[in-house]
A = this chain, B = another copy of it.
Amino acid sequence: MFENKSTRTELSELGEFGLIKFLTENIVLKNESSIKGVGDDAAVIDYKNRQTVVSTDMLVEGVHFDLMYVPLKHLGYKAVSVNLSDIYAMNATPKQITMSIAVSNRFSLEALEEFYSGVYLACERHGVDLVGGDTTSSQMGFVISVTAIGEVDKENVVYRSGAKENDLLCVTGDLGAAYIGLQLLEREKMVYKDNPAIQPDLQGHDYILQRQLKPEARKDIIPLLKELGIKPSAMIDISDGLASEALHICQSSGVGCNIYEEKIPVDTATAMMAEEFNISPYTCALNGGEDYELLFTAPIAAFDTLKANKKISIIGHITDKNAGCNLVTKSGQTFALSAQGWDALLKK
């Protein structure tokens, strides 16, 4: 009506990261309390001795989740988990969240109750209070926005930018399961759509399904590292796939890295299902995303301690920037890492 159209650049030309960079690159932080703004897993605000860590995520039906196979309780749990994961990735402890939702009237009160039961379960598990939010209607799908707030001692905060040459590159847990779980769910959805008489065959795939539907943010790693006397030099959570996150750390830190394929931790269940789908499990780990494990770098002096810990895998090391970011395969070949992970703006 009152709109004026001139040149037009498609969002897909930039991708999510490009768009964020474009929209935020002119920001100059003005307040003394704004320690870290856009550009890390979470913002850091210093109101006094302890720093406040704030992170926010939006989940959109049809983009981030499919209610055809995602139970609402799991969705509520996941919406909180993925935000807390960002707080942990700052080496911080989450304390509060706000939860905003937009829902259409196709949702009943019982459906929302189910959703919130998952939200509260996640809050309880992580010792977090729900302290605010907004509830509004939507003409179409279900939209969720969560802000997580946490605290950290100034000297303990870990950014993406602290990785140094020769540091070890480490990852918690195992990777690729969330992605292969999603493939399984999508396959069974197709089967069901073609013939609703056929019941979905999800038996015996608990692990990969749970990794997709109900991911656990790594609450245990922050105290574990403290106990081990290790302060990561850089850290990030794996939401977009190992390759993408490793590139983030290297870019922010001005370094390169080598990741050894054979060192990437993959669960047996993931490997078996990947084989069924004829995908390399390492592709799932590198590009699948949604694992919500922590990727971090640590001084080489921590090698023995990290090596001995079953929750952590050393998957490579940090190199000079000019060496680039590489994957070294089992056969000894070297490939440049590329970020093919989850890109919300390219999704249909």
List chain A positions with a Cβ less than 8 A from chain B: 1-2, 6-14, 16, 19-20, 22-24, 26-27, 29-31, 33-34, 36-38, 42-43, 45, 47-50, 52, 54-64, 68-69, 71, 95-96, 98, 100-103, 105, 107-110, 112-113, 116, 120, 127-141, 143, 145, 147, 149, 151, 189, 192, 200, 344-345, 347-348
Q: Which B residues are in CB contact (< 8 Å) with A101?
A: 58
Q: Knowing A50-B48, A135-B16, A136-B345 are in contact, say whether A113-B58 is a contact too (CB < 8 A).
A: no
Q: Which B residues are in CB contact (< 8 Å) with A113?
A: 22-23
Report how far A10 CA is from B84 CA in the complex, Å.
31
**Top 8 closest pairs, chain A to chain B, by CB:** A48-B48, A43-B131, A145-B145, A9-B109, A37-B131, A136-B344, A43-B132, A34-B129
Determine if B134 and A57 form an interchain contact, defined as CB atoms under 8 angstroms apart.
yes
Determine if B11 and A60 form an interchain contact, defined as CB atoms under 8 angstroms apart.
no
Report how far A39 CA is from B31 CA in the complex, Å.
28
Determine if B23 and A95 form an interchain contact, defined as CB atoms under 8 angstroms apart.
no
Q: Which B residues are in CB contact (< 8 Å) with A95?
A: 31, 33-34, 45
Determine if B10 and A105 form an interchain contact, defined as CB atoms under 8 angstroms apart.
yes
Q: Knowing A2-B69, A109-B22 are in contact, say whether A138-B143 is a contact too (CB < 8 A).
A: yes
Q: How far is the CB of A348 from chain B (nearest CB, A)?
A: 8
Q: Which B residues are in CB contact (< 8 Å) with A68?
A: 1
Q: Which B residues are in CB contact (< 8 Å) with A9?
A: 108-110
